């Protein structure tokens, strides 16, 4: 650490030194026109946000869409939802690169402690529920190989501790990116079930439209929306962009990063849906595939290779999400408390950041050890909760991206604002529709499914 000889105060922290080394490599690649290397150095937050959201609950939601309705309406819907996600996440990346501040920190500074802590509380609630569902996904995948919940807990916690041990954002990011690439297993599962290509092509017209119970349709629609954009993604990408040291010069490459993540996530999500569609007409319905049911049922219908690949995919999806969601919780905790919140800081210098990262994973892991937990219900409703609580975060992102005092010439264009408003309205309507329909059924004002 560099210390001023006059004031005896640190001029640059170890966090600053670490980030400056990363920025030096970016500057060298940009100055020497090494475009491929520059892109490699700058990708990360966008891909991780998108593939991190292709988590266990999301892939189970996509597979449930296929098992319940087959190949149809949800196939073209998934790319449309990831286009929505791209618009939101591009704003987060741009805000982080221009302001060098995380989402929680900016909300706290610009709109006061009430909204800052409300956003952090909103995030912690959804993250805890979602993390429970991620351990459930690992448990479902491992159950196919006859391994129990204890192994799922151990695997998730070991990964969290291992990725934190590097002491650098760059090492953490590259490690998680390497694991995230195995999200492509869901595309392999789709290929192995040998789907009819004509049926997939015809589904691009959003046909056939889902039939059956309105409440089940609203549940799957809300959980599918919650599988593409959630509060943790907003916190994570903006904070990770700042932690990576991105600047306004990097915004274009940040868009490439986010766009590539959206394309990969949509492709792999459709893969999970197509694989799940092999279970159509099996008679169990979505509630019949709890425990190791999805991989085991796929193994019975389409062969052992499909079941194995799908189970491994669930383990990967849960693992990557545990790492990224725990990180978003840690960023939020550090930003709201006002202490160091970076992977470039040491555990001693960022105790709140590292403590929140490990602590939230520990709590979630303890919950799944409770006997008789409703696995599929937790997984699906984690995404529904994210959909219901998402609009508040979206409104603040839109406000921050339009704040010209912060953003200058990087503030939103009118077209981005128009699309952002459409996203907020759409998400709000879908979340409210499921909530209202469920409430009316609960009070017996309408008939249940």
Lowest mean pLDDT among 63-72, 176-185, 223-232, 286-295: 286-295
Mean per-residue pLDDT, 366-394:
74
pLDDT of residue 341: 87
Higher pLDDT, 262 or 56: 262
Residues above pLDDT 90, as percent of the chain: 40
| Calpha distance 434→161 (Å, rounded) | 38
What's the pLDDT tens digit per position in 104-161? 889 988 988 888 888 888 788 888 888 988 898 898 899 889 898 889 899 999 999 9
How far is the CA of 403 from the CAs of 106, 276, 397, in angstroms?
11, 44, 10
Cβ-contact 140, 338 below 8 angstroms: no
Strand partners, 3: 10
Mean per-residue pLDDT, 364-368:
86
| Calpha distance 227→85 (Å, rounded) | 10
What pTM, to 2 d.p., does this model score?
0.87
431 burial (CB, 10 Å; 0-12 / 13-18 / 19+) is: buried
| Calpha distance 73→52 (Å, rounded) | 24
Lowest mean pLDDT among 72-76, 157-161, 216-220: 216-220
- The whole-angstrom distance between residue 407's C-alpha and the CA centroid of its chain comes to 25
pLDDT of residue 4: 46
Preceding peptide of 208 cis, ω within 30°: yes
Asked if CATH classification 3.40.50.2000 holds for the domain at 44-204+211-442, the reply, yes or no, is no
Residues above pLDDT 70, as percent of the chain: 86
Quickly state the pLDDT bin for 289 (edges 50, 70, 90). Answer: very low
Mean per-residue pLDDT, 31-56:
90
Write down how long the chain is: 449
Mean per-residue pLDDT, 167-177:
91
| Residue whose pair of structure tokens reads 């004002």 in the numeric block | 445
Mean per-residue pLDDT, 252-260:
96
| Calpha distance 426→343 (Å, rounded) | 35
Average pLDDT, the chain: 84
Phi, psi of 82 (to 5 degrees): -75, -25
Higher pLDDT, 13 or 34: 34
How far is the CA of 29 from the CAs of 24, 98, 251, 256, 336, in angstroms?
9, 20, 16, 17, 35
| Structure tokens given for 90 | 């591009």
- The whole-angstrom distance between residue 397's C-alpha and the CA centroid of its chain comes to 16
Residue 447 confidence (pLDDT) above 60? no
Mean per-residue pLDDT, 314-324:
94
Quickly state the pLDDT bin for 239 (edges 50, 70, 90). Answer: very high
Quickly state the pLDDT bin for 444 (edges 50, 70, 90). Answer: low
Residue 132's closest CA among 434, 386, 345? 386
332 burial (CB, 10 Å; 0-12 / 13-18 / 19+) is: buried
| Calpha distance 171→19 (Å, rounded) | 12
């Amino acid at each position: 650490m560099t210390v001023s000889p006059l004031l005896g105060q640190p001029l640059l922290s170890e966090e600053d030194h670490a980030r400056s080394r990363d920025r030096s490599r970016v500057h060298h690649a940009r100055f020497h026109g090494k475009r491929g290397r520059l892109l490699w150095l700058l990708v990360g937050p966008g891909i991780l946000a998108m593939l991190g959201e292709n988590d266990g609950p999301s892939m189970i939601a996509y597979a449930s869409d296929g098992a319940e309705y087959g190949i149809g309406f949800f196939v073209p819907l998934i790319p449309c939802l990831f286009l929505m996600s791209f618009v939101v996440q591009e704003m987060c990346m741009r805000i982080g690169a221009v302001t060098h501040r995380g989402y929680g920190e900016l909300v706290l500074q610009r709109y006061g402690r009430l909204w800052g802590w409300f956003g952090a509380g909103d995030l912690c609630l959804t993250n805890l529920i979602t993390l429970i569902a991620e351990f459930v996904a690992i448990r479902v995948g491992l159950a196919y190989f006859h391994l129990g919940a204890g192994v799922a807990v151990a695997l998730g916690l070991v990964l969290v501790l291992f990725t934190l041990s590097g002491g650098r954002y760059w090492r953490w990011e590259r490690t998680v990116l390497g694991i995230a690439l195995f999200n492509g297993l869901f595309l392999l599962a789709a290929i192995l079930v040998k789907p009819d290509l004509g049926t997939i092509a015809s589904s691009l017209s959003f046909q056939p439209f889902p039939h059956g119970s309105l409440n089940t349709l609203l549940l799957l629609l809300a959980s599918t929306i919650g599988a593409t954009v959630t509060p943790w993604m907003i916190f994570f990408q903006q904070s990770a962009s700042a932690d990576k040291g991105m600047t306004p010069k990097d915004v274009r490459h940040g868009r490439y990063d986010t766009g590539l993540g959206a394309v990969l996530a949509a492709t792999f999500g459709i893969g999970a849906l197509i694989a799940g569609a092999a279970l159509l007409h099996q008679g169990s319905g979505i509630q019949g595939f709890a425990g190791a049911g999805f991989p085991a049922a796929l193994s019975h219908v389409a062969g052992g290779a499909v079941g194995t690949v799908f189970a491994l995919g669930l383990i990967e999806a849960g693992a990557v999400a545990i790492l990224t969601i725990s990180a978003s919780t840690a960023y939020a905790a550090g930003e709201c408390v006002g202490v160091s919140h970076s992977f470039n800081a040491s555990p001693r210098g960022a105790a709140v950041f590292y403590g929140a990262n490990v602590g939230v994973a520990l709590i979630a892991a303890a919950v799944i050890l409770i006997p008789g937990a409703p696995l599929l219900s937790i997984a699906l409703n984690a995404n529904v909760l994210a959909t219901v609580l998402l609009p508040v975060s979206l409104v603040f992102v839109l406000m921050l991206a339009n704040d010209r005092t912060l953003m200058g010439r990087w503030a939103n264009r009118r077209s981005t604002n128009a699309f952002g408003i459409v996203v907020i309205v759409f998400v709000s309507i879908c979340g409210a529709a499921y909530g209202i329909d469920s409430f009316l059924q609960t009070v017996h004002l309408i008939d249940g499914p």
